[in-house]
Amino acid sequence: MSKPPQEPEFVLSVEDTFAQKLRGVAVRARTGVSGYNPYDAAVSKRPKATPSKPTDLRKLSEWIRLTRQVAALKKDTPTE
């Protein structure tokens, strides 16, 4: 009996986008698939948002108490 012919071994590898950028591969030429890929999108240089100040909960509770007090006073006063 004769042996069946052996098929050649295929070696597959994955190349990350950082290595492609280093080689100078254009963003559009990286994939054969059309459509939007967020990983291929160019990185935008947005300014970082300024960190918000922590909320003073004492002032917030005072403001809530005052608004409730004003609403209660408006209910109590008779309208003409």
Q: How confident is the model at residue 67 (pLDDT cuts 50, 70, 90)?
A: very high
DSSP letter, residue 77: S
Distances (CA, A) of 54 to 58, 60, 66, 68, 76: 12, 12, 21, 24, 36
Q: What is the pTM of this model?
A: 0.33
The model's pLDDT over 24-60, given as tens digits with 9 standing for 90+, comes to: 766 655 556 566 777 766 666 666 777 777 888 999 9
59-74: burial string, b at 16+ Cβ within 10 Å, e else: eeeeeeeeeeeeeeee
Mean pLDDT of the chain: 76
What are the domain boundaries of the chain? 10-38
